[in-house]
A and B are shown apart, each in its own frame.
Chain A
């Protein structure tokens, strides 16, 4: 079932961030929210993730769907290793987190805590966590920020290759190359 947004509005005080936004995200497709900073991309992703209330409008199709999110700030538990951070969101003690860490080039760093990883590495752990969760909807807020070009391409290929059937992927970026490479549709924000 697709995710349908009708006349969505969200304001922070007097600042209207999202105004009468309507869109339908179809199953099995990848969407890119494209636009400059402060245009409401993160706000929309947070609303879709269910962690931010909106003022008015209707969102349908997200009920009971497993949602995985790559947050802009990584949101890793600092006292857990990279591997444990992935296992934290999976309800299976014997889950093999290694293949996801390998996919983002961090297999050797699986025992490292976030404080011992660079910014780009933490980002990759957050991506691995979201991929391991295998959500029906995958939301990613500027997922490739701080990751070098070669690795970025490898991770994008992995996401495209392992994308499950019916899965909706929505990600935000400032980078037109990332948008064109990954997305079936680009949603322009102004």
Chain B
């Protein structure tokens, strides 16, 4: 075995050990509480999860929830990036949008959900809520990226009469890249939480949030925990895929001067 294989095996072993440690803690709490409604047994939850993944309805719910997160995040990415960019370049634009962003950030999600329930159909409420949670983060990150662009590089480009399109792609986009990635990773996690919360309250037909709601109504803690685990799992999976995607697009060179 090579050194890198040994390192990967060590890391995997460590992660499994940590997972087992927390499962043991969960089991200990379960044994201590001795109440399946308050804390279900981990093995029972895992066995229910195993049953759920074999059901078509589970995947349909999951797919609908993922598509809502995707729609909300994409909307926030497009609008947040465009408006954040404009706000960074134009003071007037910033002054106009900044109070709106502050208001969105300060308003409780519940208020938005209740208002959205009046405005939209139940399936669209989670998308709207996901967008509202994600938009201020992306807007702020892009605005910060633009305002932190290296002025000296812009001056250099101006002296050399570099065309605007080139300045945009070679300076601005490169400078805001880390801010965009960090914002993107943040909103993926938050988008999940917001979407599922909105689904619980808006109760669309196909949604993980609706299944959580059902579990609450029927006091089925095993289902509640099993669905929650599935959300955590999918969220981590998507986040990892995105991290790998961005790590791959970094394109750093390995050449160096010794």
Contact = CB atoms under 8 A, between A and B. Distances in A.
B257 A116 contact: yes
Contacts of A50: 158-159
Report the interface size class on chain B. 10 to 19
A67 B255 CA distance: 32
A88 B162 contact: yes
Contacts of B31: none
A88 B169 CA distance: 11
A75 B156 contact: yes
Q: Is the interface of B mostly helix, strand, loop or mixed?
A: helix
Q: Is the interface of A mostly helix, strand, loop or mixed?
A: loop
A69 B255 contact: no
B91 interface: no
Contacts of B156: 69, 71, 75
A66 B161 CA distance: 8
A118 B257 contact: yes
Given A51-B158, A77-B170, A80-B170, A111 B255 contact: yes
Contacts of A67: 159
Contact of B170 (A88, A91, A113): A88
B257 A51 contact: no
Given A71-B152, A112-B257, A116-B253, A89 B174 contact: no
A68 interface: yes
Interface in A87-106: 88-89, 91
Contact of B257 (A49, A66, A111, A121): A121
B160 interface: yes
B159 A69 contact: yes
Contact of B163 (A81, A91, A109): A91
A65 to B, nearest CB: 11
Contacts of A121: 257
Given A79-B174, A80-B170, A68 B256 contact: no
Interface of B: 152-153, 155-163, 166, 170-171, 174, 253, 255-257
Interface of A: 49-51, 66-69, 71, 73, 75, 77, 79-81, 88-89, 91, 109, 111-113, 116-118, 121, 133
